């Protein structure tokens, strides 16, 4: 067996070096009850480096890991024949099959192919699925059954998570990071969106990440960290802290989804102070500005009606947040997070750090005009960012 195995591994090494390796499959587990059913291997190009993507197909989940040529050969020596009895190498001009019998006898078969094959360095098509409900953490988080099917009462929640993943992918994909991407998910709660973020960035975008889920409730932090440990999710950790008290040393991306009232402002302030390249917030419970408007007694034909006062407070709160982000050099965008039928908390505020010098005086005047019109003394984000010392001169009513 050793001779045929050596020949097979040498053919793989040659194909990898010459750029003729199209794909490879490992199948027929040596142990019938092995949870790992098969492995699919293909070349990929990541950051201008040629690697080999291993897709591990387990009974209830898939995992993808990337290796260089030397690592690939070392791993294959461990897998064949101890874990898999069949292996097939597909090159641009031939198929090479290694078959190991139950008695350990190995045979090698080579077949020339007639069709024209080309090596593709694109990521595996099956990775177009942003979030895979078959991954074990979704069951452990209570969204799916053991078989990886989304439970009936979690259908809307999973749709929200998936939509979030689509938006984050569109925001992160064009960005260039130097090494590990440092991310804070402020007010992470039960961890649904934090796990989606980790799955998206590591399994789809192949990024090296350091994600911190910031949550004040110690029982949730303990529970989520147990799941993280059980599933060996590197680069993911929950920390016990309030949003206001959490001050990361290094931060590339800040996420704050549905942080209540001024907690959103604390999160934005933290991202700005840390110089985050991307800030993504889905604000919630805009009480502070609504209360300021009510105290001022300034009403118009719109805000005299309670429901419209609430909606106006929401728009003013998030508009001033967007303007303050622009003041600090961020290009801002406000978009719909998900359809209103699934959640009323459907506004996403996005800030991307730019090198363009902001028109600070113009921005401050816009903020002052809004506050004056609606009788607002102070927006909490001004306080969080230390803009208050200017307030009496710049924002005073005339």
Q: Residue 236 pLDDT > 70, yes or no?
A: yes
pLDDT at position 306, please?
A: 64
Residue 244: how many CB atoms within 10 A of its CB? 16
Write the pLDDT tens digit of every residue in 146-200.
Answer: 888 899 889 888 888 888 888 999 999 899 898 999 999 999 999 999 999 999 9
One-character DSSP codes across 10-60: HHHHHHHHHT-EEEEEEEEESSTT-SEEEEEEEEEEETTEEEEEEEEEESS
Write the pLDDT tens digit of every residue in 35-60.
Answer: 898 999 999 988 888 999 999 998 77
Sequence ranges of the domains in the chain:
2-126, 129-394
Write the pLDDT tens digit of every residue in 326-358.
Answer: 999 999 998 876 544 444 457 889 999 999 999
pLDDT at position 391, please?
A: 43
Q: Residue 280 pLDDT > 70, yes or no?
A: yes
pLDDT at position 370, please?
A: 87
Q: How confident is the model at residue 122 (pLDDT cuts 50, 70, 90)?
A: low
Rg of the chain over Cα atoms, rounded to whole angstroms, equals 27
**302-332: b (≥16 Cβ within 10 Å) or e:** ebeeeeebeebbbebbbbbbbbbbbbbbbeb
Percent of the chain with pLDDT over 70: 88
Percent of the chain with pLDDT over 90: 52
3-state secondary structure labels for all residues of 305-321: CHHHHHHHHHHHHHHHH
Strand 330-336 relative to strand 347-353: parallel, antiparallel, unpaired?
antiparallel
- Fold of the domain built from segment(s) 129-394: Rossmann fold (3.40.50)
Q: At what angle do helices 192-199 and 155-172 cross, to 10 degrees?
A: 40
Residue range 355-380: mean pLDDT, rounded? 89
pTM, rounded to two decimals: 0.63
Q: Residue 325 pLDDT > 50, yes or no?
A: yes
Beta-carbon-side half-sphere exposure of residue 150 (alpha carbons within 13 Å): 14
Whole-number Å distance between alpha carbons of 41 and 35: 18
pLDDT at position 303, please?
A: 64
How deeply is 199 buried, as exposed, middle or buried, from its count of CB atoms within 10 A (0-12, 13-18, 19+)? buried
Question: Do residues 194 and 236 lie in contact, with contact meaning Cβ atoms separated by under 8 Å?
Answer: yes
Residue range 354-366: mean pLDDT, rounded? 92
Write the pLDDT tens digit of every residue in 64-92.
Answer: 899 999 999 999 999 999 999 999 999 98
């Amino acid at each position: 067996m050793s001779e045929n195995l050596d020949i097979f591994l040498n053919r793989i090494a040659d194909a990898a070096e010459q750029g003729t390796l199209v794909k490879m499959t490992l199948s027929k587990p040596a142990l019938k009850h092995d949870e790992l059913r098969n492995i699919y291997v293909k070349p990929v190009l990541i950051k201008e480096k040629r690697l080999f993507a291993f897709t591990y197909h387990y009974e209830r989940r898939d995992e993808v890991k990337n290796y260089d040529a030397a690592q690939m050969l070392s791993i294959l020596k461990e897998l064949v024949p101890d874990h898999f009895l069949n292996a097939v190498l597909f090159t641009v001009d031939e198929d090479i099959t290694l078959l190991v019998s139950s008695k350990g006898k190995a045979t090698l078969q080579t077949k020339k192919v007639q069709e024209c094959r080309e090596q593709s360095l694109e990521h595996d098509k099956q990775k177009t699925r942003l979030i895979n409900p078959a991954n074990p953490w979704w069951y452990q988080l209570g969204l799916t059954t053991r078989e990886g099917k989304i439970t009936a009462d979690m259908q809307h929640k999973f749709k929200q998570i998936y939509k979030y993943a689509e938006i984050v992918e569109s925001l992160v994909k064009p960005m260039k990071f130097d090494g590990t991407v440092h991310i804070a998910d402020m007010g992470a709660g039960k961890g649904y969106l934090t796990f989606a973020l980790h799955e998206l960035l590591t399994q789809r975008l192949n990024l090296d990440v350091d994600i911190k889920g910031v949550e004040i409730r110690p029982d949730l932090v303990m529970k989520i960290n147990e799941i993280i440990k059980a599933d060996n999710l590197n680069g993911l950790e929950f920390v016990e802290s309030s949003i206001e008290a959490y001050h990361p040393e290094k931060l590339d991306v800040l996420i704050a989804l549905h942080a209540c009232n001024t907690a959103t402002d604390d999160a934005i302030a933290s991202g700005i102070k840390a110089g985050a390249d991307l800030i993504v917030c889905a604000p919630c419970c805009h009480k502070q500005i609504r209360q300021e408007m009510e105290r001022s007694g300034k009403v118009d034909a719109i805000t005299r009606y309670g429901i419209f006062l609430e909606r106006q407070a929401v728009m003013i709160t998030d508009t001033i947040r967007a303007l303050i982000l622009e003041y600090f050099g961020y290009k801002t965008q406000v978009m719909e997070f998900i359809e209103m039928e699934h959640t009323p908390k459907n506004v996403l505020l996005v800030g991307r750090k730019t090198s363009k010098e902001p028109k600070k005086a113009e921005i401050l005047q816009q903020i002052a005009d809004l506050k004056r019109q609606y009788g607002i003394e102070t927006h909490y984000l001004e306080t969080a960012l230390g803009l208050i010392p200017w307030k009496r001169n710049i924002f005073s009513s005339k």
